[in-house]
Amino acid sequence: MAQQIKFEPLSGCIGALVHGVDLSNNHEDETIEQIQEGLMMHLALVFPGQNLSSAAHVALGERFGLLEPRHPLHDIADDLENIMVIENGPKRAPDNEDWHADMTFRTLPPQASLLAARVLPPKGGDTMFSNMYAVYDDLSKSMRHFLGTLNAVHSVETGYKKILVRDPIYEKDRLKALEKMDPADSYTTHPVVEHHPITGRPYLNVNEAFTSHIADLHSDESRALLNMLAERVRMPRYQVRHRWSVGDLVMWDNLATQHYAAGDYSEYRLMHRVTVKQFFRAREKEAT
C-alpha cells in the first residue's frame, strides 16, 4: 500500500513541508508519483529528519529519473559517484550567493535536485527558493510577449568567475577545471521564456549566475533587462526560505525555480546533492 502523503504549503507562492513518508524505504510507484505531483505543484519540497544513508539518497533519486553522474566543477563522494559533495566553511568560503538554477550553461539543464544536510553550522546557511512561473506570470502582457521573442546566452565561465573572485584560494584548480570542460557542456543559448517539459507552463529562464547576456539586444539593453528580471526574482513574495536541520532533505524543480544559499556563516557546512538529469515522466512525454 502506498504511503499517505500530506503537503503543507510553506508560503503563498512556493514550497511545502511533506508529512507521512519515510524516504529510506523502497517506494511503490504510486508513492513516487505522489511526490512528483507534489513537486510539480509546490516546486520545492521539504522532507524533515530523513537522515538518509548515501545509498538510500542515490536510490531515491534513481526512482525519479536518470541521474547526473557528477558536476563538472565540484567534488564527488568517494563511495557513490552520483553524490555531489558541497563543502563550505573555514577553508572554503560559501559560494552560492547568486540566484540561479543549476547548470543552465548546458543544453539540457538537470530537471531536479535532492539536497541532504550532513553537517551544519550552529546558525546560518539557509536556502531560499523562488518561483519562476510566478515571476513570469506577474509581468505585463506586453513584457511577456517581448521576452518570448528573445534568447539568452548561458555560460559556466560567467558564474564561476564570480566564485573565484570571492574565493581566490581555489582559483588555480577551478581555472584548470574550466579549461578542461567540453564547450558543449559549458556554453549554450536558451529561450528567455521556456516551457516546462511536464507541466507545459511557461517560466522565466535567465539567472544572475550563469546568464551572460541577451543574444538579441545591445549590451546596455541586455544589462538593463537582466537587472530588472533579477530584481523580480529577489522579491520575497515569490520565495520560501528553508532553515536546515541535520538529516533534512529538500527536493526542488530546477527548471521552474531558482535558489540562493545564504553565506552568513564561517563554520563547516557539508551537504550532499543527488541531481536528476531527466524525469522518467518527461521522457515518456517526449516519446508520445
Task: Report, as residue numbers or ranges, the catalytic residues.
Answer: 100, 102, 259, 273
And the C-alpha cell for 235?
A: 522579491
Grid cell 528573445 in the structure block, residue: 150
Buried b (16+ CB within 10 A) or exposed e, 35-58: bbebbbebbbbbbeebebebebbb
Whether residue 153 contacts residue 70, with contact meaning beta carbons closer than 8 Å, is answered with: no
Q: How many CB atoms lie within 10 A of CB 247?
A: 15
Other Cβ atoms closer than 10 A to 245: 10
CA distances 151 to 163, 164, 191, 194, Å, are 25, 27, 4, 10
Query: Which three cell numbers, joined as nine digits, stand for 153?
Result: 546566452
Cα gap 119→269, rounded to integer Å = 5
User: Are 24 and 52 in contact, with CB atoms under 8 Å apart?
Assistant: yes
HEC secondary structure over 137-148 = HCCCHHHHHHHC
Does an H or E element contain 132, and which?
A: helix 132-137
Convert 113-124 to b/e letters by CB count within 10 Å (16 or more is b).
bbbbbbebbeeb
Q: Is 85 within 8 Å of 74 (Cβ atoms)? A: yes
Measured distance CA(121)–CA(159) in Å, rounded: 25
